[in-house]
Structure 1
Amino acid sequence: MIKIKFESGESKEFNLTIFDGSDLSNLKLHTAIFEGYSLQNVNFNYTDLRNVNFACCNLNFSNFTDASMMNCNLMNCSLVNVNMTRSKLMGAFLLNADLKNANLFGADLFGANFNCTNLKGVNLQATRIEETSFINAVYDKYTIWPKFFLPENKGAILI
């Protein structure tokens, strides 16, 4: 049994011994605190993850398709090969996260902070990217940006 705490002081128990590979789709996990957990290959499709604290989590290969992730703390997370297609990342904080080969196609990035992130090979054909911060984020020739978007004007660095 794993118990997750919420900012409100409440908690929720999951009938799991580990989160890796679990199905947490279509759940309401608003304000949950997952800080430091391993959540590799977890299905978060259509999950309410608003204001969730994922700081320092390993989320590699997880699926966040159509998840609500507004104001999520994803600082120092490993997000390698995650699928965030059409996710709502408005105001999300991804400082120093590793998003290598992630898919953010159609994601709403309004006001998100990608400062100092690894964006190598990431599909960033997202919406409302103009108001997103990419200061000192690194990307490579395989990173896909929206047409006419100039990442260097937002502080991103081509490696």
Structure 2
Amino acid sequence: MIRIESHIEPTILDISSLVGAKLDNLYLHRAILIGQNLQNASLIKTDLRGAELDSANLSNTDLSESSLIVAFIENANLSNARLVNARLIGACLNNANLEYADLTGADIGGTNFKGAKLFGAKLLCHRINEAIFEGTYFDEYTKWPQEFDPISKGAILVDKKQINK
């Protein structure tokens, strides 16, 4: 049994690990999951509004159509995560690793990506002009909407070959 604490009331799950867990369609509003390992988990259509996911491992996690409105996801690992059609309005993703994450169709109005790594990510999102990209890192493989200029929003184009030397 796993108990997920919340600022509202805890959620008790009949599982032994969050790694690879099926948590689709759950109400985890304001859940406290700081530093938790949710790698390969499925959180499709899950309500994570206001959740605290700082430093969590969400790599390879499916968060498609989830609500992450004003969620705290700083320093989290979202590499290869699926956030297709997710609602990230006002979320804080400062210094998060979003390498190869898919945010196609996500609503990112007011989302803060400051210092995040967006190498190879798909950012074909709604309200991208309202998001904060100052100090965000991206590479030639990052996919942006054609009309969007990430450099004018403060994002930094990085040649990953230079980093790996």
Q: Deviations over 1:39-96 (max 9, x none)?
A: 0011111111110100110000000111111001100000010000000000000000
- Structure 2 counterpart SS, 1:153: helix
Figure out how many residues of one structure are paired with residues of the other and give that number: 158
The equivalent of 2:152 in structure 1 is 153
The equivalent of 2:118 in structure 1 is 119
The equivalent of 2:31 in structure 1 is 32
The equivalent of 1:6 in structure 2 is 6
- Structure 2 counterpart SS, 1:33: coil
| TM-score when normalising by structure 1 | 0.98
The alignment's C-alpha RMSD in Å is: 0.6
Query: Letter of the aligned partner of 1:7 in structure 2?
Result: H
The equivalent of 2:75 in structure 1 is 76
The equivalent of 2:162 in structure 1 is none
Q: Which blocks of at least 5 consecutive residues in structure 1 are unaligned?
A: none
| TM-score when normalising by structure 2 | 0.94
Return the alpha-carbon distance in structure 2 between the equivalents of residues 147 and 90 of structure 1. Answer: 22
Aligned-residue offset at 1:4: 1.0
Query: Letter of the aligned partner of 2:4 in structure 1?
Result: I
The answer to whether the 8 Å contact 2:11/2:28 transfers is no
Query: Letter of the aligned partner of 1:83 in structure 2?
Result: R
- Structure 1 counterpart SS, 2:39: coil
- Structure 1 counterpart SS, 2:5: strand
Query: Letter of the aligned partner of 2:45 in structure 1?
Result: Y
**Identical columns (%):** 38
The equivalent of 1:105 in structure 2 is 104
The equivalent of 2:44 in structure 1 is 45
Return the alpha-carbon distance in structure 2 between the equivalents of residues 141 and 77 of structure 1. Answer: 23
Q: Which blocks of at least 5 consecutive residues in structure 2 are unaligned?
A: 159-165
The equivalent of 1:88 in structure 2 is 87
- Structure 2 counterpart SS, 1:37: coil
Aligned-residue offset at 1:14: 1.1
